[in-house]
């Protein structure tokens, strides 16, 4: 005994296109929020790191986005560093800007030589907040607009 069924479904292509469009909108909202959070959280000395944080592409409707910095030391800021030697001259200008006294550079140099630098987590915290807080909110918002 054989049974044969033929089911004709209509509207699947339209539904699929709507889901993809919604996903792209949510992705854009989430990535733009992540970028904004990073800009608010990044530690600022000269402002070079903050001004280098960018999102690409800069508009909605893509499947992939990249948030990146244009400076190599961003990883050292995000994760901290192990103990290492740093030039005292460089630390004097930093100490003058950040601490108001270049004479503190020697103490900072010694601390870095002994303990490294602490992580200043701006990137990972922004990702975590978007994943846990904003992504569900954006998905609900987009779904409610149907």
60-70 pLDDT, tens digit per residue, is 998 899 999 98
Say whether both 35 and 98 belong to one domain. Answer: no
User: Has residue 31 been placed in a domain?
Assistant: yes
Q: Could you list the residue range(s) of the whole structural domain that residue 104 is in?
A: 81-117
Instruction: Read off the pTM.
Output: 0.83
Say whether both 135 and 106 belong to one domain. Answer: no
State the Cα–Cα distance between residues 45 and 25, nearest whole angstrom. Answer: 34
Q: How far is CA 10 from the centre of its chain?
A: 41
Instruction: Give percent above pLDDT 70 in the chain.
Output: 90
Say whether both 101 and 38 belong to one domain. Answer: no
Q: Say if CB 38 and CB 53 are below 8 A apart.
A: yes
Say whether both 88 and 109 belong to one domain. Answer: yes
Give pLDDT tens digits for 49-96: 999 999 999 999 988 999 999 899 999 999 999 999 999 998 999 999
Q: Report the range of poorest mean pLDDT among 20-24, 113-117, 134-138.
A: 20-24
- CB atoms closer than 10 angstroms to residue 24: 15
pLDDT confidence of residue 12: 60
Residue 124 to residues 12, 29, 67, 121, Cα–Cα distance (Å):
38, 18, 12, 6
């Amino acid at each position: 005994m054989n049974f044969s069924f033929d089911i004709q479904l209509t509207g699947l292509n339209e539904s699929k296109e709507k889901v993809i469009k919604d996903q792209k909108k949510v992705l854009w909202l989430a990535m733009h929020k992540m970028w904004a959070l990073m800009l608010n959280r990044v530690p600022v000395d000269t402002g070079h790191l903050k001004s280098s944080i960018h999102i690409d592409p800069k508009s909605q409707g893509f499947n992939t986005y990249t948030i990146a910095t244009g400076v190599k030391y961003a990883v050292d800021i995000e994760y901290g560093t192990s103990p290492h030697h740093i030039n005292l001259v460089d630390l004097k200008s930093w100490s003058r800007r950040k601490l108001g006294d270049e004479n503190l550079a020697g103490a900072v140099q010694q601390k870095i030589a002994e303990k490294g630098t602490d992580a200043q987590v701006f990137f990972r915290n922004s990702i975590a907040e978007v994943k846990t807080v904003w992504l569900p909110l954006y998905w609900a918002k987009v779904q409610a607009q149907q």
